[in-house]
Chains A and B, each alone.
Chain A
């Protein structure tokens, strides 16, 4: 290109090996947890419905924490930002409570 002189000087830094290794480790955890979920889905009998559901929910929350904390970097943000995002999610808990309450009062479909 003719206007080479206008191109900015860019200093490319070397890859942050430790950080990249950490990211791949998190990915490995996510995959391992998913594999554990699969193993539970096909080894724990459906009769243990409650147990299955609670284990799945717990593992899902662990996965969510890894994605939001590490991939979305929220764990390393300023505390005000961290809590501004996390605290409003209690409304989701409220939503579950409210819907379950409505659900109990609702006529059955079948």
Chain B
């Protein structure tokens, strides 16, 4: 990179001042370190999920004969098998696959916006930022549908033990929330809400930031500033959201 090899006095280290040794601006550097800390937060959530899951009974029988029970941890592909407008069909993980596709595509449009910013091409930045925002909103809408489906539940209830008025009763449960869960042990629902919720909140803030960047691009703020580095910084955040989803997808839905 050109600016990292800039004016270094012979015999002096790049850390002696006058240059940026990491070849990145303060803002970009701090975005990287923030993302690193955020990676630890998500790792904490996912590792705890793995720990709690492994301390529960695993489902031993045939996957085709799987039924929901609070006795064992559910097989994820049996929980997430619904797709909007296709009620009654068993389409395991298809909807999650669509969501993954949407998020990867919005990552591509984001990086194309960054590329356009390097060329000072305002029209192209506007176009790609708009596509990225559309991708983000679509993903959030998909997640809203998935949450609704998860909370409301399937057509058939599961018998779950619940502690009501000082005694244990067995009742029919549809869907799941933070108190009761038809799909399996209670922590399964709790982790679903916490992990996908925390990720979804990141997507939500990402969409807000993307909109801010889009607005500033349209009003010509970055053109007057002479560079589109803000697109790069927010781009880093947006790619990180995609990165986290890759891990959530594997550890929550596939494994």
Q: Which residues of chain A have a CB within 8 Å of any CB of chain B?
A: 7-8, 10-16, 19-20, 23-24, 26-27, 30-31, 34, 37-38, 41-42, 46, 52-53, 56-57, 59-60, 63-64, 67-68, 70-72, 76-78, 80-81, 84-85, 88-89, 91-92, 95-96, 99-100, 102-103, 106, 108-110
Q: Which residues of chain B have a CB within 8 Å of any CB of chain A?
A: 1, 4, 21-24, 29, 32, 36, 39-40, 43-44, 47-48, 50-52, 54-57, 63, 71-72, 75, 77, 92-93, 97, 100-101, 104-105, 107-108, 110-112, 115-116, 118-122, 124, 185, 220, 223-224, 226, 235-236, 239-240, 242-243, 246-247, 249-250, 254-255
Given contacts A10-B122, A46-B75, contact A72 B246 (CB under 8 A): no
Give the distance in Å from the alpha carbon of A46 to the alpha carbon of B55 in the complex: 19
Contact between A16 and B21 (Cβ–Cβ < 8 Å)?
Answer: no
B232 — nearest CB in chain A belongs to which residue? A73
A96 — nearest CB in chain B belongs to which residue? B47
Contact between B47 and A63 (Cβ–Cβ < 8 Å)?
Answer: no
Residue in B50, B56, B254 whose beta carbon sits within 8 Å of that of A41 in the complex: B254
Residue in A13, A41, A72 whose beta carbon sits within 8 Å of that of B120 in the complex: A13
Contact between A99 and B48 (Cβ–Cβ < 8 Å)?
Answer: yes
Give the distance in Å from the alpha carbon of A92 to the alpha carbon of B21 in the complex: 26
Contact between B111 and A84 (Cβ–Cβ < 8 Å)?
Answer: no
Give the distance in Å from the alpha carbon of A26 to the alpha carbon of B220 in the complex: 31
Write out the residue numbers on chain A whose beta carbons fall within 8 Å of the beta carbon of B93.
38, 41
Give the distance in Å from the alpha carbon of A57 to the alpha carbon of B122 in the complex: 40
Contact between B55 and A108 (Cβ–Cβ < 8 Å)?
Answer: yes
Min CB gap B184→A, angstroms: 11
A30 — nearest CB in chain B belongs to which residue? B104
Contact between A53 and B255 (Cβ–Cβ < 8 Å)?
Answer: yes
7 contacts between A and B (CB under 8 A): A15-B115, A20-B112, A23-B108, A26-B108, A71-B110, A76-B1, A78-B21
Min CB gap B168→A, angstroms: 16
Given contacts A20-B115, A91-B40, A92-B43, contact A34 B255 (CB under 8 A): no
Give the distance in Å from the alpha carbon of A57 to the alpha carbon of B23 in the complex: 32
A42 — nearest CB in chain B belongs to which residue? B92
Give the distance in Å from the alpha carbon of A38 to the alpha carbon of B119 in the complex: 38
Contact between B24 and A81 (Cβ–Cβ < 8 Å)?
Answer: yes
Give the distance in Å from the alpha carbon of A23 to the alpha carbon of B128 in the complex: 14
Give the distance in Å from the alpha carbon of A108 to the alpha carbon of B58 in the complex: 12
Given contacts A80-B21, A91-B40, A99-B47, contact A13 B119 (CB under 8 A): yes
Write out the residue numbers on chain A whose beta carbons fall within 8 Å of the beta carbon of B226.
8
Residue in B97, B112, B120, B249 whose beta carbon sits within 8 Å of that of A11 in the complex: B120
Write out the residue numbers on chain B whose beta carbons fall within 8 Å of the beta carbon of A85.
32, 36
Closest 7 CB pairs of A and B: A78-B23, A13-B119, A81-B22, A60-B250, A27-B108, A103-B51, A71-B239
Min CB gap B60→A, angstroms: 10
Contact between B39 and A89 (Cβ–Cβ < 8 Å)?
Answer: yes
Write out the residue numbers on chain B whose beta carbons fall within 8 Å of the beta carbon of A57.
250
Contact between B77 and A41 (Cβ–Cβ < 8 Å)?
Answer: yes
Min CB gap B210→A, angstroms: 15
Contact between A88 and B36 (Cβ–Cβ < 8 Å)?
Answer: yes
Give the distance in Å from the alpha carbon of A60 to the alpha carbon of B226 in the complex: 38
Residue in A15, A24, A77, A109 whose beta carbon sits within 8 Å of that of B24 in the complex: A77
Write out the residue numbers on chain B whose beta carbons fall within 8 Å of the beta carbon of A23.
108, 111-112, 115
